[in-house]
């Protein structure tokens, strides 16, 4: 008879392992702080992969970090509206309470053109600076 010092059942061990699975695979906690199995202590800084800067290397070729941020901000006010004309894009962004600088950029798009995706919108806004491909 084998006697171990296990305090949990096999089912409970699997459930506990699942709690830290994201931490192990991604290298950072992928849950909200209130639900984190390993939150930072009161006297400890928040966990960050690059505490003194921003991540680099994750930016597509031909784009800057600012380009990625601007494209993401515009996309967050458009949702899944494709295909859409310039007027439709502005209308959807206004309906989603987009800030003036986003609306201004969308109004600068060519009138009457139909855009099939955010990639086409960003290509038009940035003068063709888009990532070569997506995975």
Can you give the pLDDT of all 135 residues of the chain as single tens digits? 555 556 777 888 888 777 777 777 776 666 655 555 566 677 776 666 566 666 556 667 777 778 888 888 999 999 888 899 999 999 999 999 999 999 999 999 998 899 999 989 988 998 765 655 554
**3-state secondary structure labels for all residues of the chain:** CCCCCCCCCHHHHHHHHHHCHHHHHHCCCCCCHHHCCCCCCCCCCCCCCCCCCCCCCCCCCCCCHHHHHHHHHHHHHHCCCCCEEHHHHHHHHHHCCCCHHHHHHHHCCCCCCEECCHHHHHHHHHCCCCCCCCC
Looking at residue 135, its pLDDT comes to 43
In DSSP terms, which residues pair with 84 in a beta bridge? 115
The reported pTM is 0.55
Could you give the CA distance from residue 74 to residue 99 in angstroms, rounded to a whole number?
10
Looking at residue 39, its pLDDT comes to 63
Could you give the CA distance from residue 109 to residue 86 in angstroms, rounded to a whole number?
6
CA nearest 67: which of 117, 120, 123?
123
Looking at residue 5, its pLDDT comes to 56
């Amino acid at each position: 008879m084998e006697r171990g010092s296990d305090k949990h059942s096999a089912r409970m061990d699997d459930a506990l392992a699942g709690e830290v699975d994201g931490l192990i695979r991604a290298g950072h906690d992928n849950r909200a702080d209130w639900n984190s199995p390993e939150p930072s202590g009161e006297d400890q800084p928040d966990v960050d992969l690059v505490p003194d800067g921003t991540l680099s290397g994750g930016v597509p070729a031909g784009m800057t970090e600012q380009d990625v941020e601007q494209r993401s901000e515009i996309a967050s006010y458009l949702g899944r509206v494709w295909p859409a004309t310039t007027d439709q894009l502005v209308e959807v962004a206004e309906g989603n309470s987009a800030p003036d600088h986003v609306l201004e950029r969308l109004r600068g798009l060519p009138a009457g053109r139909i855009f099939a995706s955010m990639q086409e919108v960003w290509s038009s806004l940035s003068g063709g600076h888009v990532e070569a491909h997506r995975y």
